[in-house]
Structure 1
Amino acid sequence: MTVTETTGGTAKADAPDLLTVTGLVRHFPIRKGLLQREVAAVQAVDGVDFTVKRGETLSLVGESGCGKSTTGRLLTRLDEPTAGRIVFEGRDITHLSDGQMRPLRRDIQMIFQDPYSSLNPRHTVGKIVGAPYRLQGVNPEGGVKKAVQAVLELVGLNPEHYNRYPHEFSGGQRQRIGIARTLALKPKLIVADEPVSALDVSIQAQVVNLLEDLQEELDLTYVFIAHDLSVVRHVSDRVAVMYLGKIVEIADREGLYGAPMHPYTTALMSAVPVPDTKRRTQRDRIRLQGDVPSPINPPPACRFHTRCWKAQDICKTQEPPLLELAPRHQVACHFPENAPTQTQPQTQTQTQTQPPTP
């Protein structure tokens, strides 16, 4: 798959925060009995903190069930958070009602994973892409039909497709229709929930390049949810790695792929397919033992300690905080890899007082 590289860096790092998430929690209660009493809860998202700069792409990656898709639904307020705060452009939107959220739907949109089930098969393309205008009461200049055809052309579809139905299109074309619906009201933030995972590899590159071109042209901000680390590497400015409802590492793309610090991230990187046979035989493949623990009863302290080859007693008793061990590189691990010794909190004072080695 060939995709173009993004050019993140200082400009995006210095941009203002568009989205700020603090202590975000979502527990799904499990009820039993005649009175439907709550006996347990699925801890899908359990204390997530991050910020998204205006114009950047932040990717959420991790195994299935780690909570990344639930986080995306919380950001778009398609689901109600159990606790925490979501601040968009300085406004707390955590517990806004449906009526209060309606005007904000213009600025926060979502691209769904399945291009087959996300489109109503009974509606034409014109009605699907034009729905945001009708729901928001927006009357674009020249009429809805002209605006819809312009958006269809923007995403690489023929304006003459206006009167056709979803079943007449391929998977990649259906995803373009979904992207067109997302772009109709010119949003500021787009949450893309695995937008290419259901597509053929050859089509994935086309859709990824389309999203990058649209971001540059329309000044969009993405929260990109995926499990394919090779795709994430091309589209991201920063990457947040999730495991069992928590962020274990968050860093710039170059820092994360060049020197991953959390053992879980290292294991994920080693699983990425390498087309070069020489490089494939030279690298160490890390195979994690055991299954992912249940989010109903996650392990105490560090949730990864049951599968980690570096785990010690402290990992079972004390939860590691998410600390910045390198510039713009945060990790939650007691024994991180590739971490500069001088930046580790427990040795920072000591290294400052010691004389330099001759």
Structure 2
Amino acid sequence: MRDETLTTVQDQTAPAEPRLGEEILAVSGLQKHFPVRKGLLQRQVAAVQAVDGLDFTVTMGETLSLVGESGCGKTTTGRLLTRLLEPTGGKIVFEGRDITHISLRAMRPLRRDVQMIFQDPYSSLNPRHTVGTIVGAPFRLQKVKTDHGIKRAVQELLELVGLNPEHYNRYPHEFSGGQRQRIGIARTLALRPKLIVADEPVSALDVSIQAQVINLLDDLQNELNLTYVMIAHDLSVVRHVSDRVAVMYLGKIVELAGRTALYERPMHPYTVALLSAVPIPDPERRTKRERIRLQGDVPSPLNPPPACRFHTRCWKAQEVCRTEEPPLVDLAPGHKVACHFPENQEAITVLPVGPVEEPVDS
């Protein structure tokens, strides 16, 4: 009787598991500056501002995609979320717990809930280990016991990602690129994580294989209630897998919106320029879409432009863009933009606030 009472009290005080649609990750003011050192004493003379003040949330069961040019800080953000890098500033809250600066020892149990899919399937797998050893490593490192042994659990994971369970004793060099990425996905799923950060999971694969891996990730999300933070640069791929999209430029988020809103009526000039470069697979299309060519190169994160970081390449830039940094604010329900002169504002449909009354049948 006493044991039952203790169990009941513990269950009541334990934090509730997040449900579908509830917030699982909250990021505020996240920064990562890499110091640049010179001289005999290795004094810091500058800092690469790879990530400089990110604010966003992720809800259970959704896919949030981070897109942008190379060097904008996408991959660094992913490594910060999984605590593979130590943040310089800001805050990361996972399931109500601040994990921004917790120790490696304290982070180790959380590795079960937060995992990462790496970009290159060729370098992320140890060529000296068999598939069974690679996929079974999380069970051994976390000392997780399975019902029918590690081998049986690994074979079930291989079957789950579309591989032959009999390949347990094979080595990575015996597989194609798409199969190696499936092995990496199986390793990620071993401990049934709640949040998966996918760092460009298909960019290193052939185009013919990319759709298969994307469909696999989508099926796994529906089957296992997974939450994704997808990092990508291919906007056409992102469109099919995302619930919301955050566009990054030089370490900052310039636009954050739902997938449909962002693709149909982008508001930030940088997003408009990115989408204008996406080819439309329609041979019967007679009118060509206007292609916006940005002038110049992306500025160095060592010395980013003041105020709005995009003003050096923006065709709408004015004096206020060079002196005042635009805040990331809601210009439409669920559509955040950091721009003084946003595009497509005339297409905004103001939604009613509060519950909508349904007509009563007479």
TM-score by length of 2: 0.90
Task: Please show how residues 128-147 of structure 1 align to structure 2 within 5 Å.
Answer: 128-147=134-153
Counterparts in 2 of 1:14 and 1:342: CA distance versus 1, 3 Å: farther
Determine if the alignment matches structure 1 residue 199 to structure 2 residue 198.
Answer: no
**2:216 alignment partner, SS class:** helix
Select which of 165, 171, 176 maps to 1:170.
176
**8 A Cα contact 2:119 2:204, kept in partner:** yes
Report the Cα offset of residue 343 of structure 1: 9.2
Distance in 1, Cα, partners of 2:155 & 2:327? 50
User: 1:71-128, CA deviations, whole angstroms, 9 ceiling, x for partnerless residues?
Assistant: 0000000000000000000000000111000000000000000000000000000000
Select which of 62, 73, 76 maps to 1:70.
76
Determine if the alignment matches structure 1 residue 154 to structure 2 residue 160.
Answer: yes
Distance in 2, Cα, partners of 1:279 & 1:209? 28
Determine if the alignment matches structure 1 residue 315 to structure 2 residue 321.
Answer: yes
**8 A Cα contact 2:332 2:348, kept in partner:** no
Report the Cα offset of residue 280 of structure 1: 7.2
Distance in 2, Cα, partners of 1:13 & 1:203? 33
**1:58 alignment partner, SS class:** strand
Distance in 2, Cα, partners of 1:66 & 1:319? 18
Gaps of 5+ in 2: 1-17, 351-362
Select which of 235, 241, 250 maps to 2:241.
235
Counterparts in 2 of 1:13 and 1:313: CA distance versus 1, 3 Å: farther
Task: Please show how residues 1-358 of structure 1 align to structure 2 within 5 Å.
Answer: 15-279=21-285, 281-340=287-346
Distance in 1, Cα, partners of 2:19 & 2:346? 22
Give the counterpart letter for 2:101 in structure 1. Answer: H
Distance in 1, Cα, partners of 2:286 & 2:90? 42
Distance in 1, Cα, partners of 2:301 & 2:19? 34
Distance in 2, Cα, partners of 1:14 & 1:251? 19
Distance in 2, Cα, partners of 1:279 & 1:235? 25
Counterparts in 2 of 1:37 and 1:280: CA distance versus 1, 3 Å: farther
Report the Cα offset of residue 273 of structure 1: 1.4
User: 1:206-260, CA deviations, whole angstroms, 9 ceiling, x for partnerless residues?
Assistant: 0000000000000000000000000000000000000000000000000000100
Fraction of identical pairs, as percent: 79
RMSD: 1.6
**8 A Cα contact 2:19 2:60, kept in partner:** no
**1:282 alignment partner, SS class:** coil
Report the Cα offset of residue 298 of structure 1: 0.3
Give the counterpart letter for 1:165 in structure 2. Answer: Y
| Structure (1 or 2) with the larger CA radius of gyration | 2
**8 A Cα contact 1:274 1:280, kept in partner:** no
Counterparts in 2 of 1:324 and 1:279: CA distance versus 1, 3 Å: farther
Further displaced range: 304-313 or 275-284: 275-284
Distance in 1, Cα, partners of 2:121 & 2:347? 47
Q: How many residues align?
A: 333
Distance in 1, Cα, partners of 2:107 & 2:162? 30
**8 A Cα contact 1:40 1:296, kept in partner:** yes
Runs of 4+ in 1 over 6 A off after TM superposition: 341-344
User: 1:121-168, CA deviations, whole angstroms, 9 ceiling, x for partnerless residues?
Assistant: 000000000000000000111000000000000000000010000000
